[in-house]
Amino acid sequence: MKKFSTIALKLTAAPAFAALALLAGSNVQAASCEFLPNAPDQHAVVRGDTLWGISGKFLQHPWCWPQVWGLNRDQIHDPHWIYPGQVVYFDRAAGRLRLGTPTAMGGSPNVRLLPGIRTEALGVAAVPAIAASAIEPFLSQPLVIEEKQLNDTPRIVATQEGRVFLGKNDKAYVRGALQGGTSFQAFRPGKPLADPETKAVIGYEAVYLGTLKLQRAAAAENEAHTFSVVTSKEEIGVGDRLLPVPPTPIMNYMPHPPDAPVAARIVAIYGGVSHAGQNQVVSINRGRNDGIDIGTVLELSRHGQLINDPADKGRAIKLPDEQYGTLFIFRVFDRIAYGLIMQVADSVQVGDVARSPE
Question: b/e map of 50-79 (b: 16 or more CB within 10 Å)?
Answer: bbbbbbbbbbebbbbbbbbbbbeeebbebb
Does 253 map to a domain?
no
Q: Which residues pair with 29 in a beta bridge?
A: none
**Positive or negative: CA dihedral 128, 131, 135, 140:** positive
Does 209 map to a domain?
yes
* pLDDT the model gives residue 114: 38
Q: Are residues 68 and 181 in the same domain?
A: no
Does 124 map to a domain?
yes
Q: Are residues 121 and 10 in the same domain?
A: yes
DSSP state for residue 245 in the 8-state scheme = P
Q: What is the pTM of this model?
A: 0.71
Q: Is 308 left (phi over 0), alpha (psi -120 to 50) or beta?
A: beta
Q: Are residues 268 and 208 in the same domain?
A: no
* pLDDT the model gives residue 216: 95
Q: Are residues 17 and 121 in the same domain?
A: yes
Alpha carbon of residue 200 to chain centroid = 25
* pLDDT the model gives residue 101: 64
Does 107 map to a domain?
yes
Which amino acid is present at 235? E
Q: Kindly give the pairing relationship between strand 315-318 and strand 306-309.
A: antiparallel
Which amino acid is present at 42? Q
pLDDT digit string (tens) for the chain, length 358 residues: 333 222 222 222 222 222 222 333 333 344 468 899 999 999 998 888 888 888 889 998 888 877 777 665 455 555 556 888 888 888 888 888 887 765 533 444 444 443 344 444 444 567 777 777 778 777 767 678 887 888 889 999 999 887 889 989 999 999 999 999 999 999 998 888 999 989 999 988 888 999 999 999 999 989 999 999 999 988 999 999 999 988 766 566 778 889 889 999 999 998 778 888 888 899 999 999 999 998 899 999 987 778 888 887 778 888 887 888 999 999 999 999 999 998 888 889 999 999 998 7
Does 1 map to a domain?
no
What is the tally of structural domains in the chain? 3
The domain containing residue 145 runs over which residues?
Answer: 141-244
Does 26 map to a domain?
yes
Q: What's the Cα-to-Cα distance from 20 to each of 252, 268, 320, rounded to whole Å?
A: 20, 34, 31
Does 136 map to a domain?
no
Q: Are residues 113 and 181 in the same domain?
A: no
**Last residue within a domain, chosen from 244, 276, 307:** 244
Does 177 map to a domain?
yes
